[in-house]
Structure 1
Amino acid sequence: MKTDLFNGYFWYQNKLFNDLPPDFFPSEYKPETYTSILKELNGCFRLIVEGNDFLIAAVDRVRSLPLFFYQKGKDLFIDPDAFELKKLLNNPELDNLIFTEFLLTAHCCQNDTLYPEIKQLEAGQFLIWHKSEARLELRDYYIYQHLFEPIENPIEAMDEMHQHIIQRLIDSAHNRTLVIPLSGGYDSRNIAYMLKRADYKNVICFTYGKPYDGDCSTSRKVAKFLNFPWIMVENTRPMWYEAFHSEEMLQYFRFGTNLSSSFHVQDWLAVKILKEKELIPSDAIFVPGHSGGALQGQYLPLIFENRDKMTSKELIQTILRQFYHLWEYPMEKLYSLFSDRIGSYLTIPDTVLTEIATSIYDEWAWRQWESKFIVNSVRVYEFFNYEWRIPLWDNEFMEFWQRIPFSQRTHRQLLKQYLQKYQPIPVPAYHDYSFTRRIKNKYARITVGNIMTLGYGRFLDYKDRDAYLNTKIASLLVPELHYPEFINPELPILKAQINAIQALIYIKELVSGNLDNITLSKQF
């Protein structure tokens, strides 16, 4: 047996592996054995292992390093780069339903990509290719579902869990510099605080945007309290416009999307500046704080509160409302398009207890939005040749929150109790602008759109005020492509959601063929 591909790292039986040993998996394929081994791997990885009569391919529990496959007759093609598989196709066409879903969510759901012939492995999943039979089999080795096994003394247990995941982070870093994108929220400060408690010295915190924003101010205060170096990377509209329209950005579109996720560029410019100005070591490791809030209950919709049960339709509509929201579209039309797709995937009974409904909701959030868009943002660090770690997707972190009941996750109640006891940072988490600023921003959005939001400088030249205010969605559309009815060509760009615009731009570059001939050498 030989290892055809391995990227990443993992812990297995308390030992760190940066490579896959040749005999790690048994030479005879047994589904239960492979499932058991994969379930124990704690880290970020993708692998392809070939046996005498079979081949397996797997990704980790959050699809942090994706894999794509294409079956043609008796042949199976697998590649970390979906564009390489696209080269095997003859003028492929977009799948209409998946294309619609992509525009509403900024990623493709389930095993699909924008092209029906090319599929992707989902988080916690592996495939088996039976060579002699030319038969493909997909299996789940892990699914994020709540276990309803309460933890005794959960606050103390949480602190112990945090210490374990931070120690694994430290052990994998080998004393290299850990760079934390420190926001004003809870998750990144959790990582920074635990590194301070562990007395890890090589830490740099940074933030980006406008120096006077509340988020940046909070970040600076937290770093100062922890006595960690802090870097403010200022971003302006002209800087963003130049960067977004560069050849380097087009290369990133090709690198970071894989026909299945819209590009994530929120911290792209900041990382580029950190690298070019040599503000961090070349072998630094980025440690973002996502996605602790997702597991802790930060995004649980209010519909789940104060009720014992809900219908399948209500749950599917909740998922649609939360994740299929980039464009305004009547719920009855959304439900008509996607209810069968979501319902059959999640196998939701007609009526479901609310506690179970929240588990089903979290399962969808984990495997779709979090893994395919949020976690996929680590492509930014890879693009600039940096490694990364995501400790808040450590197995122990996930398994802890799987056992916390809904009542303790709403509004992140349990986390806030923990922070008061174990992380007493005298800097409140940043939530929003002041009331006066929010009123002004709301008025601006109603009248001219998101003119106050810095990120829109990516798309339009702020110095041309008339074009900035009035350029319409029509300028982003491909004439020969049929778009769903919710895409309004006459809507000014400033009045559309930023991820909706980026999804349209990606489709335009993809369909035009601008991404097909870009050669990449970057690899995690």
Structure 2
Amino acid sequence: MQTALCHDGWTRADGVAVRGRAFENDRLLEDDVLAARFSEIRESDAPLEAVASVAADLEGFFAAVLEDGDATYLVADGARSVPLYYGTGGPVSDRGRLVREALEAPTDPITESEFLLTRYVTGPETIWSEVYATQPGEVVRIGGDGIERRTYRDYWPTGPDDDAGSVGDSSDHGARLESALETALDRLERVAGDRPVVVPLSGGYDSRLLASALVDRGREVIGFTFGRSGHPDVEVSREIAARLGIPWKFCDYDESTWREWYRGPPGRRYEREAFGGDALPFLAEWPAVRELVADGRLPTDALYCPGHTVATPSERLPRFVGERRRSEPSSVGCGPAVDADDEVDSADDRERIVPSLEALTDYVLERHYALWEWDDPTFEDAARERIRRGLRGDRDPDAIADRASAAAAYERWEWRGRMATFTNGDLRVYEDAGLEWWLPLWDPVYVRAWERVPLEARRGKGLHADLARERYRRAADVPDERAGLTDRTLSPADRHLALVRHSPVRQFTERGGDWMPPFLAPRSAWSEPGSHPLSWYGIVDDDVLEELPAFRNLYALRTLAATGRLDLEDASGPIPDGSTIRLPTADE
């Protein structure tokens, strides 16, 4: 089978192509050594099982393509950090569009509808018919007899329901999680060598945990953020870096500059190459990374470590009937202002649901299929079946029978459906700038530890957030109150103090010569183009904005643009006249 692997990080040897790094026991495998490890399966009588067995022994972030006789095998790590695309009779590629063009594949109305409503496609499909993507922890065999898939590593939390009184000392769980973090950081340091580690430092807990733990180890750490000075995410990030004593780089965003970034040749190329047909290209930090690297403010020889974490799917867990009412910490934040359009409300503000497959399906459909309002019975039936498949995987429907299993099913769905496609798409940002990356908080050892955390301690990333606060308090020597500060808990007084903390000189230098007051718009106004903390509505032409209805979520507009339903630069084309969309399935 033809391969069209475009990234220059692939190593090819003896019919095997690999990319990335992995640990086997305490041994770090990369390049030719990693390729040789997969080559060992050639003499196996059951090559699919042999490939899955090799992959299951590896812990890291990698992908592999193996040619063995008449069959081709594709391997994705447990985080699906390096996507591969394929189809029957087409090439294998790390760019979905190349497979689609080779097969001349039309769009699929069901998966295209899902993309329009969520900004990603769940499962192995893409928006193009018969074009597929590898899934987390999966091996795919493509042969003359068709396609066969095998999951060798799944995500299914097994922590007990502590409302049932089955949980021991919470300090035991915290100690195990911290021990797993230390192992993950040991691996990170081996990958980084003597290079600095760059962390996209947000106002949340994830990146704070990474930066604090690395500073505690004496590592050279550089933080960066982006957006508008005065935005709470930026100001908390600035404070964290200052208290940790690490360099902090900032890229200011404004609408006119966004227009130049997005519409120029680099932006057009990035959008085309990063769109694999299964998730909207990650955009928030793309210009910041490019600008800060181009200006020499961030090094090219560093290891870049986003704070994406196994704990994130726990943020939107529903509350189940019969649970006690508790407060949750505000722990959003793997990257600065990345999901400013996405509110993560407290689970105690939500209606309790029955811990069942159908109730979870309703919850996912209402919460996640919501970029547009819609009414399409054909798609609703198909979407429900896709959600059920994502919730239970290969398990029987009756495997979801209590609160613990229902929570596990939801977290599995969110990881495989949302994070492994859309969120991990932010790694393409670093690749576009020629940078190396690593995901320490998705290291399998940290994943296994988090899977064992009791349900209530997972909610709102609770135990993970506790660990982040404690490691930051320890590394920065700050009082508990400041250790727990996030972009969502920054007080109005703190925000207004930005006017004092930022002298006119600092404002002038941060903004490249233009002085402006700090960004002080309240969160309730962030949906308005001129008041968004990323200013990224600048990619939309003013005339198009004028014609659009009040409903202006940029993710929703970009899904229309990606499928050819809206030209962000031309108001003479079709413009939605409300918040309701007609899905392509309605025409079938």
When normalised by structure 2's length, the TM-score is 0.75
What is the distance in 1 between the residues matched to 2:545 and 2:564?
Answer: 21
SS at the partner of 1:281?
A: coil
Deviates more, 1:28-37 or 1:302-311: 302-311
Match of 1:144 in 2: 155
- The change in CA–CA distance for 1:431 and 1:26 in structure 2 (over 3 A counts) is same
SS at the partner of 1:231?
A: strand
- The change in CA–CA distance for 1:243 and 1:15 in structure 2 (over 3 A counts) is same
Matched, 1:61 2:61: no
Q: Work out whether residues 88 and 142 of structure 2, in 8 Å CA contact, stay in contact via their aligned partners in 1.
A: no
Q: Work out whether residues 319 and 353 of structure 2, in 8 Å CA contact, stay in contact via their aligned partners in 1.
A: no
Q: Work out whether residues 159 and 454 of structure 2, in 8 Å CA contact, stay in contact via their aligned partners in 1.
A: yes
Match of 2:55 in 1: 38
User: Given residue 208 of structure 1, which amino acid in structure 2 is its aligned partner?
Assistant: F
Matched, 1:430 2:479: no
User: Given residue 234 of structure 1, which amino acid in structure 2 is its aligned partner?
Assistant: D
What is the distance in 1 between the residues matched to 2:555 and 2:407?
Answer: 26
Residue number among 561, 565, 571 corresponding to 1:505 in the alignment: 561
Once the two structures are superposed, residues 71-90 of structure 1 have per-residue CA deviations (whole angstroms, 9 ceiling, x without a partner) of 13xxx632212222123223
Once the two structures are superposed, residues 251-308 of structure 1 have per-residue CA deviations (whole angstroms, 9 ceiling, x without a partner) of 001121112211111001111111221112222221111135415x222234575479
Residue number among 544, 547, 551 corresponding to 1:471 in the alignment: 547
Give the C-alpha shift of residue 377 in structure 1: 1.1
Matches within 5 A, 1:276-355: 276-295=294-313, 297-303=314-320, 305-306=323-324, 309-329=354-374, 335-345=380-390, 346=392, 347-349=396-398, 352-355=401-404
SS at the partner of 1:266?
A: coil
- The change in CA–CA distance for 1:350 and 1:187 in structure 2 (over 3 A counts) is closer
SS at the partner of 1:62?
A: coil
Give the C-alpha shift of residue 419 in structure 1: 4.0
What CA RMSD, in Å, does the superposition of the two structures yield over aligned residues?
2.9
SS at the partner of 1:87?
A: helix
SS at the partner of 1:205?
A: strand
Deviates more, 1:345-354 or 1:167-176: 345-354
What is the distance in 1 between the residues matched to 2:557 and 2:535?
Answer: 11
Give the C-alpha shift of residue 4 in structure 1: 2.8
Residue number among 4, 11, 21 corresponding to 2:23 in the alignment: 11
Give the C-alpha shift of residue 47 in structure 1: 0.4
Give the C-alpha shift of residue 335 in structure 1: 4.2
Match of 1:223 in 2: 241
Match of 1:460 in 2: 540
Match of 2:181 in 1: 162
Q: Work out whether residues 21 and 28 of structure 2, in 8 Å CA contact, stay in contact via their aligned partners in 1.
A: yes
What is the distance in 1 between the residues matched to 2:399 and 2:455?
Answer: 21
Once the two structures are superposed, residues 145-182 of structure 1 have per-residue CA deviations (whole angstroms, 9 ceiling, x without a partner) of 02247787111112211111111111101211211110
Once the two structures are superposed, residues 469-514 of structure 1 have per-residue CA deviations (whole angstroms, 9 ceiling, x without a partner) of 5232xxxxxxxxxxxxxxxxxx24xx222211121122229999xx
Match of 2:502 in 1: none
SS at the partner of 1:6?
A: strand
SS at the partner of 2:87?
A: strand
User: Given residue 121 of structure 2, which amino acid in structure 1 is its aligned partner?
Assistant: C
Deviates more, 1:217-226 or 1:183-192: 217-226
Give the C-alpha shift of residue 337 in structure 1: 4.2
What is the distance in 1 between the residues matched to 2:566 and 2:377?
Answer: 30
Residue number among 191, 195, 205 corresponding to 1:172 in the alignment: 191
Matched, 1:134 2:145: yes
SS at the partner of 1:310?
A: coil
Deviates more, 1:347-356 or 1:134-143: 347-356
- The change in CA–CA distance for 1:300 and 1:49 in structure 2 (over 3 A counts) is same
SS at the partner of 2:298?
A: coil
Give the C-alpha shift of residue 113 in structure 1: 0.9
Match of 1:496 in 2: 552
Structure 2, gaps ≥5 residues long: 1-12, 161-166, 325-351, 496-518, 569-588
Give the C-alpha shift of residue 439 in structure 1: 12
Give the C-alpha shift of residue 204 in structure 1: 1.0
User: Given residue 191 of structure 2, which amino acid in structure 1 is its aligned partner?
Assistant: S
User: Given residue 431 of structure 1, which amino acid in structure 2 is its aligned partner?
Assistant: R
- The change in CA–CA distance for 1:17 and 1:194 in structure 2 (over 3 A counts) is same
Matches within 5 A, 1:187-198: 187-198=206-217
Once the two structures are superposed, residues 337-378 of structure 1 have per-residue CA deviations (whole angstroms, 9 ceiling, x without a partner) of 411222245353397212111111111111110000001111
SS at the partner of 1:349?
A: helix
Q: Work out whether residues 76 and 135 of structure 2, in 8 Å CA contact, stay in contact via their aligned partners in 1.
A: yes
Residue number among 69, 93, 101 corresponding to 1:87 in the alignment: 101
Deviates more, 1:369-378 or 1:338-347: 338-347
What is the distance in 1 between the residues matched to 2:27 and 2:248?
Answer: 33
What is the distance in 2 between the residues matched to 1:435 and 1:327?
Answer: 32
What is the distance in 2 between the residues matched to 1:248 and 1:206?
Answer: 21
- The change in CA–CA distance for 1:439 and 1:23 in structure 2 (over 3 A counts) is closer
- The change in CA–CA distance for 1:312 and 1:380 in structure 2 (over 3 A counts) is same
Give the C-alpha shift of residue 336 in structure 1: 3.4
What is the distance in 1 between the residues matched to 2:78 and 2:412?
Answer: 12
Q: Work out whether residues 209 and 467 of structure 2, in 8 Å CA contact, stay in contact via their aligned partners in 1.
A: no
Q: Work out whether residues 158 and 404 of structure 2, in 8 Å CA contact, stay in contact via their aligned partners in 1.
A: no
Q: Work out whether residues 317 and 335 of structure 1, in 8 Å CA contact, stay in contact via their aligned partners in 2.
A: no
Give the C-alpha shift of residue 332 in structure 1: 7.7
What is the distance in 2 between the residues matched to 1:78 and 1:333?
Answer: 32
What is the distance in 2 between the residues matched to 1:23 and 1:9?
Answer: 12
Q: Work out whether residues 309 and 351 of structure 1, in 8 Å CA contact, stay in contact via their aligned partners in 2.
A: no
Q: Work out whether residues 86 and 132 of structure 2, in 8 Å CA contact, stay in contact via their aligned partners in 1.
A: yes
What is the distance in 2 between the residues matched to 1:80 and 1:337?
Answer: 28
When normalised by structure 1's length, the TM-score is 0.84
Match of 2:289 in 1: 271
Match of 2:280 in 1: 262
Give the C-alpha shift of residue 460 in structure 1: 3.1
